Structure 1
C-alpha cells in the first residue's frame, strides 16, 4: 500500500496531467475512497496549490494557476522529457541558450539522485541552428498571430541594409530545419509570403485586427513545402525531368534525394529529379560528372544548351 506522501504526490501528478478530474475517477486511479481524495486535496491546498471544486454529476477537482508558484512535480518521464527539451533548445533557433542552461541546472538540483544520474547521462551534442531569433521578436510575432493583429515590421537581408516598413496579416509561425518562418498575407503585395524571423524586426503594435484568411490548401506544412520548392501549392517540384546517366545504379542512387533512380542496364542509370527551375535541374544532373543521354523534356534540354554557352564563355575568360 502506498504511503500518504506517495499517494499525495500521485494525486498531484494526476491533477497536473489534465484540466478536470471527477472525484470518483481519482479515487479509482489511486485505489482509495472519495473521502480520502477530499482529505488529500485539502492537504494540497494547505501546501499552496489552488485546487477548485468542479460542480457536476460526479463532482471533481481542477488545479488552477495560483498567484504563487508552489513546488512542481514531475514524474520520471516528464523530468527526462524536460531535460531533453532544455538541452535541445540550442537547435531551436531561439536565442535562449544561456537561459536554458540555467533552467536545466535549476531542474537538476531538485531532482532525486536516481533521476539526476539519468539526466547527467544525456551528454548529447546539439548542433546550433542555422540562424537565431531573439526571444522578444518571436514573442511579438506569435502574439500578433494569436490576436489576429496586423504586424508592422522591417525585413532585412544578410547585408543589413535598411528596408522600409512592411505590413502583413500574420497567420502561422513554423520551425523548419532549424529556421523560424512567418507565413503571412502581405498587405502591400496582396499575396501570401513567407518571412524568415531572424531577418524580421517587429515594430510597435498596430492594434488593428483582421479577419483570418484561408491559407491555400489549409495546411501550413504543405504550403511551406511548396514554397520552398518554388511552387504555389502541392508537393511536386515545378520542374521535373529525366536523363540516362553513364554510371551504375549503386553510384547514383545515394545522391538522388527525393528523386528516382532505376537500373537502365549496361552500367547505365535512368534518373528522374525535380528542381525549382530547369537550370537548377540541369545543374543537379551535371553534378554526376558523367555522360547524359535521352534527356527529357525539351525545356531541360534547352537549359543544358544555355548552361553550355555560359560554361564555354566562362572557360574562355580564364
Structure 2
C-alpha cells in the first residue's frame, strides 16, 4: 500500500495494468489496496477506458500520511530547518516536527535525534543536495564528540576529482544559502575549517572522543558567515571601503545588501560597503555607472587604478 501510494503521488493517471506490474501484484490485490487507501481517506478515482486506471486527487481533509524510512528522515530534516530558520512558519514547523517524531519507530527517532544545526540568513542561491545519511552520520559524530574521518573534494575542484582524507573534531552543522556546512577542527592542519557537506563522504566507524573546542569568537553563526566572506575576524568583510557617488540614494539602496547608504544631496550619496578583495570591491562599486568623487581608504583607490589599467589594455585589444 505504501509503494502504491508513492506511485500514485508521482503522476496524475496510472493505468491499472502498469501499476500491478510495477508492484508485482495481481489486479485483485491492486483493487483491494486501492480500497484500503480510500478507507484511510485518500481520494483515488477510477479511470474508465480501454486500459482503466487510477488517479489520486486532493481531498477535503488531510488523510493519514504514510512515509517510508527515507521520506520520514527527509521530512524531519526539512521541518527542523524550517523551525530554526526564522521563517514565519517556524513555530508550526516545530510542532509538526514534534508530532512526526512521536509516531516514528525507535530506529528512525534515534537517527534524527542527534541532528542539531545552526542556520544562516537566507540567500538567493540554488540549494545543493546532501544525502540524508551524510547529515545523520556527521550529526551523530558532533553529538557524540567523536573524531570524524571523511573523504573531501575541495571547493573549486570537480565533484568527480580525487578526494583528500581529513581527520577532524566536528563541532557544528550549519545550513545557509541552500548549502550545508560542517565546522570542525582539522587535526592535521591544527586549525578551524568549514567544509561543504555535499563534498563530504564520511568514514565509519568514528574515532575516539575529544574535548570540544570553542570556535573563534564563540559564535558559530558569525564564524561561518565570516569565513564565507573570506574573513578570519568574524562576520566582517576583509576589505571595507567608502565612496561618494553622483547618484540619488534611491538608485543605490536596492543593490546594496549589507552595506550602508547615506543621502548627502538629491543626486549624491555616501556608500560604505565591503568585499573579499579590494579589486572585487572596486568592481562592485563600478557597476553603478556613476561619477565617484571621493574614495577611501587608499587601498580601494589603488584597486581602481589597477582596474583602470586593465580596462584600458582591454579596450586597446578590442577586435576591429
The interval holding the TM-score normalised by the smaller chain is 0.5 to 0.7
Cα root mean square deviation, aligned: 3.2
Query: How high is the TM-score relative to the length of structure 1?
Result: 0.59
Contact map agreement 2:141 2:206 (CA 8 A) in 1 = no
Superposition pairs of residues 70-149 of structure 1, within 5 angstroms = 86=75, 89=78, 130-149=127-146
Give the whole-Å Cα distance in 2 for the aligned partners of 1:86 and 1:169: 28
User: Higher Cα Rg: structure 1 or 2?
Assistant: 1
Which secondary structure state, in structure 2, belongs to the residue aligned with residue 140 of structure 1?
helix
C-alpha distance 242-155 of structure 1, shift in aligned 2 (>3 A)? same
Structure 1 residue 187, shift from structure 2 partner: 1.1
C-alpha distance 90-290 of structure 1, shift in aligned 2 (>3 A)? farther
Which residue of structure 1 lines up, in the alignment, with residue 260 of structure 2?
260
Contact map agreement 1:240 1:272 (CA 8 A) in 2 = yes
Contact map agreement 2:279 2:304 (CA 8 A) in 1 = yes
Structure 1 residue 310, shift from structure 2 partner: 2.0
Which secondary structure state, in structure 1, belongs to the residue aligned with residue 253 of structure 2?
helix
Give the whole-Å Cα distance in 2 for the aligned partners of 1:202 and 1:311: 46
Q: Tell me, which stretches of 5 or more residues in structure 1 are unaligned?
A: 1-75, 80-84, 94-102, 108-126
Which secondary structure state, in structure 2, belongs to the residue aligned with residue 162 of structure 1?
coil
Structure 1 residue 174, shift from structure 2 partner: 1.2
Which residue of structure 1 lines up, in the alignment, with residue 4 of structure 2?
none
Q: Tell me, which stretches of 5 or more residues in structure 2 are unaligned?
A: 1-61, 66-73, 83-95, 101-123
Give the whole-Å Cα distance in 2 for the aligned partners of 1:266 and 1:129: 38
Give the whole-Å Cα distance in 1 for the aligned partners of 2:257 and 2:176: 18
Structure 1 residue 266, shift from structure 2 partner: 5.5
Structure 1 residue 255, shift from structure 2 partner: 1.4
Which secondary structure state, in structure 1, belongs to the residue aligned with residue 217 of structure 2?
helix
C-alpha distance 139-91 of structure 1, shift in aligned 2 (>3 A)? closer
Superposition pairs of residues 1-318 of structure 1, within 5 angstroms = 86=75, 89=78, 130-156=127-153, 157=155, 159=158, 160-265=160-265, 267-318=267-318
- Can you list the C-alpha shifts for 1:167-214, whole angstroms capped at 9, x where unaligned? 111000111122110000011111100001011111232432221112
Contact map agreement 1:279 1:300 (CA 8 A) in 2 = yes
- Can you list the C-alpha shifts for 1:45-91, whole angstroms capped at 9, x where unaligned? xxxxxxxxxxxxxxxxxxxxxxxxxxxxxxx9xx9xxxxx9599399
C-alpha distance 296-284 of structure 1, shift in aligned 2 (>3 A)? same
Which secondary structure state, in structure 2, belongs to the residue aligned with residue 172 of structure 1?
strand
- Can you list the C-alpha shifts for 1:267-308, whole angstroms capped at 9, x where unaligned? 111111111211121111011011112111100001111122
The number of residues matched between the two structures is 207
